Every structure is written in structure tokens, then in C-alpha cells.
Amino acid sequence: MRFFFKYLILSLVLVMPAAWAEPLRVVASFSILADMVKNVGGEDIAVTTLVGADGDAHVYEPTPADAKAVGKAQLVIVNGLAFEGWIERLLKSSAYKGEVVVASQGVAPRQMQEEAEHESKGGQSAHKGHDHHDHGSTDPHAWQDLANGQIYVTNIINGLAKADPAHAAAYQQRGEAYLAQLKATNQWVREQLAAVPPAKRRVITSHDAFGYFGAAYGVDFLAPVGWNTENEPSAKQIATLIRQIKKGSSTLSVERIHQSRLQLAEQAECQTYIF
């Protein structure tokens, strides 16, 4: 009997630390990336998102709370491709010394549509006055192509496994299931859009953020002059855009809910989607 109790106590001592282990503290730079991380990490991680779904990563200003969260993190995951222009400042101010996973590593980067038009016109930008958000010529919105999304997830799996080897098998299992979902969704999107005539695959958006999506799925996204996620368009710009929509585009997508954008959709009599 004494041997039995000794064995039972020893078993509890060995099992209890694993059961009581705290989840890996992970910081993701923005909401879409955080969703990917949660799908892979599950219950084994605790994710802090810096830029929420209603925020704008282009113009985000980190807070003292962000620096505190990063300082306590065991892993930081970012998009890369110059998407988070503020991240290096934040890492330095927080004194973070851990690994930084760049989710877009391995993606074939695209050139921003606006920058390409600028170069094709010999330096005379077709989008004068539009804020490039300090991306340079690289388009950082690579996740819009779900094939790239799968690269993101693979990098996340590897990053979590390296930071937390004890749960590497769980990360791999969840990651593979998530990759299968993305692969199936990628195929579904292609099939759905294939049924739409090419001439109808035209969308006007408030920000040139869908180049990867357009190239992958054959959709023509137009980012009008003077529109961005920071400023309201002028009355003249709205009038010009209404004419442009009525000439061929039946869909308007915007990244934020601005009254003028909703009024624009009503006047142009087109479908509107808020991202």
C-alpha cells in the first residue's frame, strides 16, 4: 500500500506541471495575423493583438501598453514587407530580446500598383497625392492570396514549435488542419469567380491593398486618386468616382465606415462591402 501511494504521488508530481503550464505568450502585429496564429496555437498560446480589426496598421501609433505586452512576450509575429513601419521602434522600446517570426518570409512580393503606374509614366504618378504608407514599392498585403496565406501559416507553425517545443506536435497538427482549410477555400474562391465574366470582375476600393488577390483570382481592383484609409475624399473626387463606377464597376469596397463612402455607394447605385 505504501508503494502504491508513493507511485501515485510521483505520478501527480510529473503530470501536474504540464497541466499547470502557462500558455506561450505571443504578440501578433495585427488582427488577421492574430487569427492565423490562434488557429495554429489553440489553447497552448495566449495572443495579444496590437492593431485590432477596427484599426489601421498603416498609421498605427504603439502605446505604452503595447510596449509592455511585447516586453513580456515569448514570441512576436509580424507580417513583414514593411507593413508595420513602427515595429522596430516598438521592439527597441520594449527591450524585447526574443525571436521575431516574419510571416511573409518566402512570399514572392509584388510591386504596389500605384508605384508601377508611377514608373510606367516616367515618374508622373497617376495617383498624385495618395499616401503610400511608407511601403516603398513593395506591396505588403500578401495574405490576400490564399496561396500566400498558406506560406504564412507554415512560418507560424515553425515559429511556435521553435519557441515551445513541448507543444510542437500540437502546433503541427492544428496547422496542417488549418492549411487544408485554406487550400480548400482557395479552390472554392477560384471556382466562384470563374463563374463571373471577366468584364464584371471590377471592384473600386478605397486603398490599393488587393493586388495579390486581384492577380491570384483575376479581379481588377481600382484605387481612385486621392483615396486612402486616412483622409476623406473631396466632393470633386466623389463626383469623378461616381462617373467611373457607372461606366463599368458595380462594386465598391472600403476599409473603414465613412459617411461619405456610404453616400457614394447610394449615389452610384452599387453594392458596397466594408472590410
84-106 pLDDT per residue, tens: 999 999 999 999 999 999 999 99
Kindly indicate the confidence band of residue 121, based on its pLDDT and cuts at 50, 70 and 90. Answer: very low
Residue 131 has pLDDT above 50, yes or no: no
Residue 11 banded pLDDT, cuts 50, 70, 90: low
Quickly list H helices, the chain. 2-20, 31-41, 64-72, 87-94, 113-120, 146-163, 168-194, 211-217, 235-248, 259-268
State the pLDDT at residue 184: 98
Residue 150 has pLDDT above 50, yes or no: yes
How is the chain split into domains, by residue range?
24-104+140-191, 196-274
* pLDDT recorded at residue 124: 39
Q: What percent of the chain has pLDDT over 90?
A: 56
Q: Which fold has domain 24-104+140-191?
A: Rossmann fold (3.40.50)
Is pLDDT of 263 > 70? no
For the chain, the straight-line distance linking the first and the last C-alpha, in angstroms and rounded, comes to 65
pLDDT for position 128 = 36
Whether 160 has a pLDDT exceeding 60, the answer reads: yes
Dihedral (CA of 255, 258, 262, 264) sign: negative
What's the pLDDT score for residue 161? 99
pTM: 0.78
Q: What is the CATH number of domain 196-274?
A: 3.40.50.1980
SS3 content of the chain, % helix, strand, coil (to 5): 50, 15, 35
Of the candidates 216, 212, 222, 223, the residue with the CA atom closest to the CA atom of residue 193: 216
pLDDT at 255: 52
Fold matches, 24-104+140-191 and 196-274: yes
> For the residues 246-274, what does the mean pLDDT come to?
53
What are the tens digits of pLDDT across the range 20-65?
579 999 999 999 999 999 999 999 999 999 999 989 898 899 999 9
**Does 268 have pLDDT greater than 70?**
no
pLDDT band of 127, cuts 50, 70, 90? very low
pLDDT in tens, 171-226: 999 999 999 999 999 999 999 999 999 988 888 776 678 899 999 999 988 766 55
Q: Tell me which DSSP letter residue 78 carries.
A: E
What's the chain's length in residues?
275
pLDDT at 136 over 80: no
- Residue written as grid cell 452610384: 268
Round to whole Å and give the CA distance between 191 and 196: 9
Q: Which residue has the cell 509592455?
A: 68
- For the chain, give the mean pLDDT: 81
